[in-house]
Every structure is written in structure tokens, then in C-alpha cells.
């Protein structure tokens, strides 16, 4: 009986000792896991973050930036290339965006105009380009849907100077992928308002300011004075120039009517030279002369008696 009790106590002691060893081993492993996790967290916290300037609200081209429009944020280096973005607020404030910058976007160098370029419209015109304003009707301005920053094609319907084309009016695409700088007196997209304001804007005859080259400005000026202009809206990501751009369309081509070819004009008759009658005694002869006074070879001549 005593031997059985001694054996039971030994087994219990052995079991308890094993449990203690397992618990100690588990605690050690947990400690190592937590310690390694803390070290990784510390290493992650030591990574240098990049300071950048971001927009706190939508920024519109042509309107100078104020201190309330931007703020600085700390972001990981792989989220932005430091050499392309501002990191100080004072480098951004009072500068003018060349294009719309959305809320939360990083303010990059190429998206702002230099302070020496001025403010407003002249600050957003690209080098080598010009700003030209044209008057349009409601249909030509896309019924109020056109906004600054859009790209359009310009089509003109005009009377041709050359009547031999056989058409009273022709239509031609004179400019492609032209940037809209302003609609009316606004450099920004107007926010949607009530229906009455929308209808009033659609009844207006707005002006549209386009960014063009000097040569394109000359084309646009001539087309404005001689014909009717229409603007065709393009996708912002579409910079494709059509191969058939510039082909002239008249009414016959629109309706699929083949134009009759004009009959060739007859060659004008050669002018006849001067003729003179030469009288020698009782004989008379007719001699022809060209414009230079030279005798025409093969000219008709005749002889006869002189009347008395």
C-alpha cells in the first residue's frame, strides 16, 4: 500500500515538473516573439518619411494659392518622388496653378506657374502659345457643358472664295486638340447650381478663350470674321490627330451627291495682228503684222488693180 502511494506521488511530481517546463518554454517563446515584433516596430519607426505639400481642397488654374489651400504631410518615400514635389509651404503660397489640383494631391513643381509669370490668365499660358477669345452661341459652346481645362477641335462653316468648288458653303476642321483656358470670364469650372441658373447660362452667348499658337491664332481670326465656328469636345486623354483632318466637306459630299465636273473651257482665240494694204503703182497687197510689228509669216495677201 505504501509502495502504491509512493509511485503515485512520483508520477504526480513528474507531471507537475513537465508542466512547469512546458510553461516556461512557452513563456520564453512568447517573449521572443514579442521582443522581435517590438524591434521590427522600432525599425519601422526609424524610417525617414518625406515631407510634402498637399492640397486641402481643390485648387483651380489661374487662382493664386493661399495658406488655407495647402498643408504639409509626412508620407513614405516610395509614395512620391521627392525631387518632383514641394516640401515647404512658403514655396507654394501665392503661386498660381497651371491646371486643376484635386484635394489630397501632392503639389508638384510642373503644376505651378512661376511668380515672375504673373497671376490669372497670363500665368497659365504655355511658352510659345497665345490666348485668344472667340464668341460662340449656345450650341457651339456645348450648351454650357464646356469647362476650363477641356480640349476641343474647332470647325468652321464658311463661304469659299473660289467659286469653282461648286458649293456655297463648306465645312472644315481648322484646329485640333486645343486647350480651353476660360469660359466666359471664369478660369474655373462652375459648380452646379439651381435649374434657373443653369438655364440662364445656357441662354447666354458665352465667350471661350483658347490656347493657340500664333499661326493658329491667325487661322482662328480669319475663320471668325468670315464664317461660323463650332467647338467639338475631346476626351482629356485623347491626343490623336485624325488623318483626314482638314478635308473640306460641302453639301454635295454630305448628301453623297457626286459633283459634276465642269466642262473644260475652250482655249481663247489667238488675237489677230494688224493688217495693212500696200499699194505699189497699180497693184495693192495686204500684209499682216504681229504685236511687235513683225511681218506675220503666211499672212493672207492679195493683189489687185488700184481703182481710178
CA proximity to 64, closest of 89, 98, 109, 87: 98
φ and ψ at 174, to 5 degrees? -100, -25
Residue 35 lies in a domain: no
- pLDDT tens readout for residues 69-86: 999 988 877 666 556 788
Q: 117 and 154: one domain?
A: no
Mean pLDDT of 204-225: 89
Containing structural domain, residue 67: 50-123
Q: Give the CATH number for residue 93.
A: 3.90.1210.10
Q: How many domains are contained in the chain? A: 3
Distance CA 181, CA 137 (A): 18
Q: What is the pLDDT of residue 194?
A: 46
Task: Classify 81 as helix, strand or coil.
Answer: coil
- Whether residue 236 is predicted with pLDDT greater than 70 in this model: the reply is yes
Sign of CA dihedral 97, 100, 102, 103: positive
- Whether residue 125 is predicted with pLDDT greater than 80 in this model: the reply is yes
Q: 171 and 248: one domain?
A: yes
Mean pLDDT of 126-155: 83
- pLDDT tens readout for residues 50-74: 888 999 999 988 888 999 999 998 8
- Residue 97: count of CB within 10 angstroms of its CB: 24
Residue 167 lies in a domain: yes
Q: What is the pLDDT of residue 240?
A: 78
- Whether residue 220 is predicted with pLDDT greater than 90 in this model: the reply is yes
Q: 88 and 105: one domain?
A: yes
- Whether residue 238 is predicted with pLDDT greater than 70 in this model: the reply is yes
Residue 159 lies in a domain: yes
pLDDT higher for 232 or 237?
Answer: 232
Last residue of some domain: 123, 138, 171? 123
C-alpha cell at 234: 475631346
Q: 168 and 244: one domain?
A: yes
Please tell me the number of Cα atoms within 13 Å of 134 on its side-chain side.
29
pTM score, whole prediction: 0.55
Mean pLDDT of 154-172: 78
CA 128 to the chain's CA centroid: 15
Last residue of some domain: 123, 156, 187? 123
Residue 100 lies in a domain: yes
Q: 71 and 113: one domain?
A: yes
Q: If you write DSSP's letter for every residue of 88-128 in order, what string do you get?
A: -GGGTTT-EESS-B-TT-B-BGGGEE-GGG-STHHHHSPTT
- Average pLDDT score over the chain: 76
Distance CA 224, CA 227 (A): 6
Amino acid at each position: 500500500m505504501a509502495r502504491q502511494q509512493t509511485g503515485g506521488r512520483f508520477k504526480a511530481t513528474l507531471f507537475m515538473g513537465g508542466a512547469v517546463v512546458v510553461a516556461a518554454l512557452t513563456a520564453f517563446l512568447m517573449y521572443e516573439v514579442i521582443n522581435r515584433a517590438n524591434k521590427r516596430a522600432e525599425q519601422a519607426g526609424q524610417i525617414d518619411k518625406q515631407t510634402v505639400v498637399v492640397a486641402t481642397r481643390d485648387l483651380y488654374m489661374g487662382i493664386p494659392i493661399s495658406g488655407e489651400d495647402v498643408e504639409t504631410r509626412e508620407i513614405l518615400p516610395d509614395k512620391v518622388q521627392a525631387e518632383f514635389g514641394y516640401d515647404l509651404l512658403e514655396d507654394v503660397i501665392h503661386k498660381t496653378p497651371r491646371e486643376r489640383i484635386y484635394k489630397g494631391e501632392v503639389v508638384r513643381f510642373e503644376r505651378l506657374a512661376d511668380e515672375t509669370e504673373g497671376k490669372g490668365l497670363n500665368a497659365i499660358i504655355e511658352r510659345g502659345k497665345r490666348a485668344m477669345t472667340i464668341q460662340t452661341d449656345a450650341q457651339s459652346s456645348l450648351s454650357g457643358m464646356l469647362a476650363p481645362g477641356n480640349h476641343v477641335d474647332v470647325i468652321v462653316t464658311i463661304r469659299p472664295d473660289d467659286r469653282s468648288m461648286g458649293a456655297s458653303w463648306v465645312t472644315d476642321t481648322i484646329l485640333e486638340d486645343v486647350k480651353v483656358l476660360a469660359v466666359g470670364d471664369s478660369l474655373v469650372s462652375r459648380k452646379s447650381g439651381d435649374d434657373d441658373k443653369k438655364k440662364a447660362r445656357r441662354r447666354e452667348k458665352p465667350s471661350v478663350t483658347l490656347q493657340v499658337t500664333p499661326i493658329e491664332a491667325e487661322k482662328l481670326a480669319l475663320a471668325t470674321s468670315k464664317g461660323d465656328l463650332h467647338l467639338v469636345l475631346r476626351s482629356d486623354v485623347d491626343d490623336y490627330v485624325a488623318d483626314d483632318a482638314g478635308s473640306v466637306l460641302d453639301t454635295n459630299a454630305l448628301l453623297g451627291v457626286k459633283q459634276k465636273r465642269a466642262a473644260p473651257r475652250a482655249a481663247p482665240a489667238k488675237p489677230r495682228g494688224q493688217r495693212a494694204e500696200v499699194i505699189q503703182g497699180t497693184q495693192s497687197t495686204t500684209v499682216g503684222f504681229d504685236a511687235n510689228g513683225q511681218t506675220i509669216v503666211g499672212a493672207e495677201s492679195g493683189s489687185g488693180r488700184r481703182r481710178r
